[in-house]
Amino acid sequence: MTDHDLSQGDFFAPPDPILTCGTIADLHDLARGCTRCEELVEARTQVVPGVGPPDARVFFIGEAPGRREDAQGEPFVGDAGAYLTELLEKIGLSRGEVFISNIVKCRPPENRNPKTPEIENCAPYLERQLALIKPELVVLLGRFALERFFPREKITESAGVPRRKTIAGHEMTFLPLLHPAFGIRRQDLKPEIEKSFWKIREMLDGAGGPAE
Ligand code: URA
């Protein structure tokens, strides 16, 4: 074997503990000790890995924790979270029955957008969450969640249009939707956001819609 062959070291590398982690609880413990992003480690109060039952049918992916999420250690507990909970209830889902996480599991300082290397560093945690939970439906909330899985798409064009993609060997159905924070900043968008959430119900039931 030449030196060049030896440099292809992955063959001998130990398995990645994130990508081989056997349970959501163990995965979240690993995430809580993560030090991959210097700036986020410095800024965070705690890691916010995600919340929900390991057999959830629906997995929601937002952008990143904000101030309240960082303080409480749970995603979507601020204003956008209250609106998300309301939207779920409208379509007959309770917060406790879905899984909720983010593209990035630590709060970016001053709520700035997550940077590409931070998204990349955090990707194995998200991938493993998806592989362990194997949800029937993955809901991508907003631009950052959409771009992670479908990099060339725009949320304003793709919202409401389901598509399939294989992640970690599992083919999954993804539904991009406008981020609930949009509805808080732009009250006029609320009817459109609420209507689009019915797509989730429809996809879980194979039919349905708001009662007239
Ligand atoms: N809270 C989260 O946890 N994620 C978001 O994307 C927005 C608010």
**CATH code, 140:** 3.40.470.10
Q: Is residue 60 situated within a structural domain?
A: yes
Q: CA-CA-CA-CA torsion for 196, 175, 79, 205, nearest 10 degrees?
A: 60
Q: Are 54 and 77 in contact (CB under 8 A)?
A: no
Q: Are 80 and 180 in contact (CB under 8 A)?
A: yes
**Rounded to the nearest whole angstrom, what is the distance from the C-alpha of residue 104 to the centroid of ligand 1?**
10
**In 58-189, which ranges are continuous DSSP H helix?**
67-72, 79-90, 116-133, 143-149, 155-158, 180-185
Mean pLDDT score, 30-52: 98
Q: Is residue 8 situated within a structural domain?
A: no
110, two tokens: 């001053």
**Rounded to the nearest whole angstrom, what is the distance from the C-alpha of residue 185 to the centroid of ligand 1?**
14
Nearest Cα residue to atom 8 of ligand 1: 76
**Rounded to the nearest whole angstrom, what is the distance from the C-alpha of residue 45 to the centroid of ligand 1?**
15
Determine the atom of ligand 1 nearest the C-alpha atom of 68: 1
Q: Is residue 164 situated within a structural domain?
A: yes
**Rounded to the nearest whole angstrom, what is the distance from the C-alpha of residue 36 to the centroid of ligand 1?**
20
Mean pLDDT score, 61-65: 98
Domain holding 64, by residue range, is 16-204
185, two tokens: 């900043």
Q: Are 176 and 159 in contact (CB under 8 A)?
A: yes
Which tens digit of pLDDT belongs to each residue from 125-184?
999 999 999 999 999 999 999 999 999 999 999 999 999 999 989 999 999 999 999 999
pLDDT at 123 over 70: yes
Q: Is residue 212 situated within a structural domain?
A: no
Q: Is residue 3 situated within a structural domain?
A: no
Which tens digit of pLDDT belongs to each residue from 90-106?
999 999 999 999 999 99
Q: Is residue 4 situated within a structural domain?
A: no
Residue 173: closest CA among 132, 196, 204, 151: 204
**Rounded to the nearest whole angstrom, what is the distance from the C-alpha of residue 166 to the centroid of ligand 1?**
25
Mutate to test the pocket of ligand 1, among 61, 63, 141 (most ligand atoms within 8 A of CB): 63
Determine the atom of ligand 1 nearest the C-alpha atom of 48: 3
| pLDDT value, residue 11 | 65
Q: Is residue 147 situated within a structural domain?
A: yes
**Whole-number percent of the chain with pLDDT over 70:** 92
| pLDDT value, residue 209 | 46
Confidence of residue 10 (pLDDT cuts 50, 70, 90): low
Q: Is residue 156 situated within a structural domain?
A: yes
Which tens digit of pLDDT belongs to each residue from 19-35?
999 999 999 999 999 99
| pLDDT value, residue 191 | 96
State the total domains in the chain.
1
Nearest Cα residue to atom 1 of ligand 1: 76
